[in-house]
Structure 1
């Protein structure tokens, strides 16, 4: 039995176990060759974002591909590209605290890094009572009609759908946070500054709900799209090779902060050699100028993409607990 067949069977089992709770594992979680690492919780179910399929289909549909980048059978590091069915993978806690976190993995807008910046943090959160939703979002270079807004469309829809389904997960619909990493940090910040920007036509009752998170946590985020500060790969894959200044500004969260933006928690390592710490500093300055509450943690060492696994043994390893204590003050918990 191949790995895709195992995934489909696992998804079907999740549906049968959940029964009448109106939850269905739809598109199964990604599967590279081989079984997932033993002993690690896997998603309870998945939720497709768009009931009739994602809007604005490209002329040539991409093919979803999963690359396992880890050579260690005990550590998964999957990268997914060509997402055609945007979806949420759900990690339920044993004892829900009524709060949810939308997790947005990074990947430079080239792919979605689902383990290191998705599932690992989801396990940490669910062990502490949070219901975690890992977002598989479409990628802008695949030719979707929404262009650079396609990722934001999926993030907005995800926030609304979590709120719409709050009773299924024992959630307070107002207590839904967003957290993103690297390019996912850009999408987190974009969602948290342009939550009211219309990027798609409503498809059902969920779209009557707000997309503003109660709080936002961009972690070592890409922010600026101007060449002086931008992560070149993210910029080109999001905006194309020669974007106008207006397009750069439209997709630079620090240029779009409204006064009703949610509180922000920003984290970056000063020795990050992939995404300059200046990105976080620009965002912080813009939030302060708009009098939006912001807490910023800069660590001397950490590099880029540390998530949980690469932070171990360093001072930056304290960051999840710092976020959790900060989040208490926002009303999330």
Structure 2
């Protein structure tokens, strides 16, 4: 996605960037959560999503989808890896999830002003952002913060979810051992229910950062719950391919995702 250095993209104040379709709007909207390991946001000059998510959002707006790039707070605002202790850590306050839930409610509250159908608001996340897309689409039953105003009266449940190579998905991230057992168990932070919205999972089999079994375990549990889930696996593409073409199998994932959205009457 990009090499993260310094504190340039260590966001301390959450914000949104709204990208509207230039000509034809379908009425659908997608909130995009960039990756970065919950240490920083990978939205700099060399990001495979484009600076500030511009490339990912252009792809969506060209398809008639309103795109909202969410700059959620980091670092260490959700499950993250401590290089010193070599253990995964969970913060006392889940600020990344707080920001994501608030963002969904805000977009739904202002749907008319944004030209958005409040019943077609989805989430898409990459890597750590993919985990955030999973959390918002599974933990909508309880808000991660005390409601602030009328915006929080609008539901934070997304109408669909597209986690792309999501991270932090198994009990490996709870430091459970042995690792081969933990790798087969879904992270207990993820609350499975039949109310989870239609979900499309995107993953490359040769991803060495967030291994493909993360998505496979999640898809397995969604199917058990009767959730509408589709898992697209690609032989090559590695990690953090974003929306950049690299001559790999993952180059077609964006077309596949638009096809899935059309099939689910989102577009």
TM-score over 0.5 (shorter chain): yes
Partners of 2:169 and 2:215 within 8 A in 1: no
Match of 1:155 in 2: 100
Q: Deviations over 1:205-261 (max 9, x none)?
A: 11001111111010011142422xx4xxxx79xxxxxxxx9xx9442x2xx111110
Match of 1:85 in 2: 13
RMSD, aligned CA: 2.5
- Asked whether 1:132 is paired with 2:61, we answer no
How far did residue 129 of structure 1 move?
Answer: 1.1
- Asked whether 1:319 is paired with 2:249, we answer no
Please, which of 195, 202, 214 is the counterpart of residue 147 of structure 2? Answer: 202
User: Post-superposition, which runs of at least 4 consecutive aligned residues in structure 1 deviate over 4 A?
Assistant: 77-80
**Structure-to-structure mapping, 1:36-115, within 5 angstroms:** 80-94=8-22, 95-114=24-43, 115=47
Q: Deviations over 1:13-59 (max 9, x none)?
A: xxxxxxxxxxxxxxxxxxxxxxxxxxxxxxxxxxxxxxxxxxxxxxx
Partners of 1:101 and 1:177 within 8 A in 2: yes
Partners of 2:137 and 2:158 within 8 A in 1: yes
What is the rounded CA distance, in whole Å, between the counterparts of 2:10 and 2:165 in structure 1?
A: 24
What is the rounded CA distance, in whole Å, between the counterparts of 1:260 and 1:141 in structure 2?
A: 29
Pair member with larger Rg: 1
Q: Deviations over 1:42-94 (max 9, x none)?
A: xxxxxxxxxxxxxxxxxxxxxxxxxx969xxxxxx998533222011111111
Partners of 1:140 and 1:148 within 8 A in 2: no
Partners of 2:77 and 2:95 within 8 A in 1: no
| Greater relative contact order structure (CA < 8 Å, 6+ sep) | 2
What is the rounded CA distance, in whole Å, between the counterparts of 1:125 and 1:179 in structure 2?
A: 11
Partners of 1:83 and 1:139 within 8 A in 2: yes
5+ long unaligned stretches in structure 1: 1-67, 71-76, 237-244
Normalising by structure 2, we get a TM-score of 0.82
Partners of 1:105 and 1:135 within 8 A in 2: yes
2:94 is paired with a residue whose SS is helix
- Asked whether 1:304 is paired with 2:239, we answer yes
Partners of 1:215 and 1:330 within 8 A in 2: no
Normalising by structure 1, we get a TM-score of 0.66
Partners of 2:15 and 2:72 within 8 A in 1: yes
What is the rounded CA distance, in whole Å, between the counterparts of 1:296 and 1:184 in structure 2?
A: 17
Partners of 1:268 and 1:297 within 8 A in 2: yes
- Asked whether 1:185 is paired with 2:133, we answer no
What is the rounded CA distance, in whole Å, between the counterparts of 1:90 and 1:84 in structure 2?
A: 19
- Asked whether 1:270 is paired with 2:202, we answer no
How far did residue 332 of structure 1 move?
Answer: 1.7
5+ long unaligned stretches in structure 2: 79-90, 176-181
Aligned length: 238
What is the rounded CA distance, in whole Å, between the counterparts of 2:3 and 2:169 in structure 1?
A: 28
